[in-house]
Amino acid sequence: MTITYSCIANGRSILAELALTGGSYKESTAIVLRQVLLKAEQKSTIQMGSFVYHTLLIDGITYLCATDNALDTVTPSAFLKNVSDAFVRNPLLSQDYFPTSNAIEVDFQQVLGKYMVKYNNNEDDGSILTLKSQISDVKSIMTKNIDKVLQSEEKLNSLSNQMDETEVTAKTSQKTKLLKRILWKHFQKMTVITLAIFLLIIILLSTNIIPI
């Protein structure tokens, strides 16, 4: 996921904006801002064309960002919260009106750019770390399952040694069949988990969460 555009608006008037990619966001942004004002909801997510617009409305100020993927809503939310906090702390806002100069626009283009780069970079790192953690968990499960199977086999051998030859032959056969079923079930479970990991990787690659 990439944050490609962001802006700060007072009503429908954009105070500052920044786009990291080419193309025009003005028409879609105007529609989104209009919907935000009509609904007056603090948070909203709106699909417009190939982009997803996330908004945060606080005290009449709308903080907006556009992303190229709808799967991740946590990163845009954190981005908008950081931008809103930085905006409120700005000394220019101590006045009872917004200055007519471009002071806010110049200042907050830098703020928008700073946080866009930060969250775009962190999102990629976070996805990779999450995937590595999931793979590590699967390895841990597989190791525990194998240990359990080996322990079961040891108990089976110990039990067999305590029985007479006739009973050993019959019961060993039963235990062997049981062990085979246990091993087969573990094999099926590991196969499903492995396929799930590959499917997850394919989804992450296809949605650009992990860049190719």
Residue 63 has pLDDT above 90, yes or no: yes
Query: By mean pLDDT, which of 21-30, 44-53, 71-80, 121-130 is the weakest?
Result: 121-130
Instruction: Quote the mean pLDDT of the chain.
Output: 77
Predicted confidence (pLDDT) at residue 193 exceeds the cutoff of 50: yes
- Of 76, 105, 123, which residue sits at a domain end? 123
Residues 111 and 155 in one domain: no
Say if residue 134's pLDDT is above 60.
Answer: no
Domain final residue, candidates 73, 95, 123: 123
Range of the domain at 178: 125-206
Residues 10 and 109 in one domain: yes
Same domain, 20 and 83: yes
51/113 same-domain check: yes
pLDDT at 196: 81
Task: Please give the angle made by the CA atoms of 184, 185 and 191, to the nearest 5 degrees.
Answer: 90
Which residues, in sequence order, are bridge partners of residue 132? none
pLDDT exceeds 80 at position 163 = no
Which pLDDT score is estimated for 103? 61
Percent of the chain whose predicted confidence (pLDDT) is above 90: 25
- DSSP string across 164-200: -HHHHHHHHHHHHHHHHHHHHHHHHHHHHHHHHHHHH
In this prediction, residues 186-202 reach a mean pLDDT of 79
Does the structure show a pLDDT above 50 at 94?
Answer: no
Residue 70 is assigned to a structural domain of this protein: yes
Same domain, 118 and 164: no
Count: domains in the chain: 2
**Residue 157: partners with Cβ closer than 8 Å, 6 or more residues away:** none
Q: Are residues 8 and 107 in the same domain?
A: yes
- For residues 99 and 194, state if they share a domain: no
- How confident is the model over 2-53, as pLDDT tens digits? 899 999 999 889 988 999 877 778 899 999 999 999 999 999 999 988 899 9
Q: What is the per-residue pLDDT for 5?
A: 93
Question: What span, in angstroms and rounded, lies between the C-alpha atoms of 3 and 208?
Answer: 12
Domain stop point among 97, 123, 149:
123
